[in-house]
Amino acid sequence: MARGLVQAHARAAGLPGWLGIRLVETWPGGLCAQVEVRDELLTPFRNLHGGVLAALVDHVLGTVCYPVMPAGSWAATTEFKLNYLAPVTGGILSAVAEVVSLTKRTAVVRIAVTNSTGPGGRPDDSARLVCSAQGTVLVMAPKARPEG
């Protein structure tokens, strides 16, 4: 499942594709995704637009749930809260999402977003926490098809 998720994510279209969100690692109930900070993602004041962080958080909030949900289920974000902790002007954003709780109907996920300015965006001494978030996802099981 994790390999399929990474492969499907590599072909992502829409906003995640335009933002350049890359799924770089998965583990049971967790994942790490990255975004390279580009000029078109900055405000006129040369800081990353807060909407980019919100979109990254929203995307990984749902994506992290798929490997741990029953097959055929789908997830929809119902709410999330994020705290902007530091400005971002360049480098690589790394979002680590972990499922905190999973029931038949909901999942709660925590996300920490760091910003690295070191070579290749690898976490190093320059990595700092720039956003902390938590959200809830509605888990919907597939509808049973009538027989006949």
pLDDT in tens, 72-123: 999 999 999 999 999 999 999 999 999 999 999 999 999 999 999 765 545 5
Residue 44 lies in a domain: yes
Tell me the CATH number at 21: 3.10.129.10
Residue 148 lies in a domain: no
Q: Which domain holds residue 117?
A: 2-140
Residue 58 lies in a domain: yes
Mean pLDDT of 20-33: 96
pLDDT: which is higher, 104 or 6? 104
pLDDT band at 143 (very low <50, low <70, confident <90, very high): confident
Q: How many CB atoms lie within 10 A of CB 81?
A: 10
Residue 114 lies in a domain: yes
Q: Considering its fold, how many domains does the chain have in total? A: 1
pLDDT: which is higher, 126 or 47? 47
pLDDT at 146: 74
Residue 109 β-bridge partners: 99, 135
Residue 146 lies in a domain: no
pLDDT band at 1 (very low <50, low <70, confident <90, very high): low
Residue 61 lies in a domain: yes
Position 143, amino acid: K
Per-residue pLDDT tens over the stretch 27-77:
999 999 999 999 999 999 999 999 999 999 999 999 999 999 999 999 999
pLDDT at 68: 95
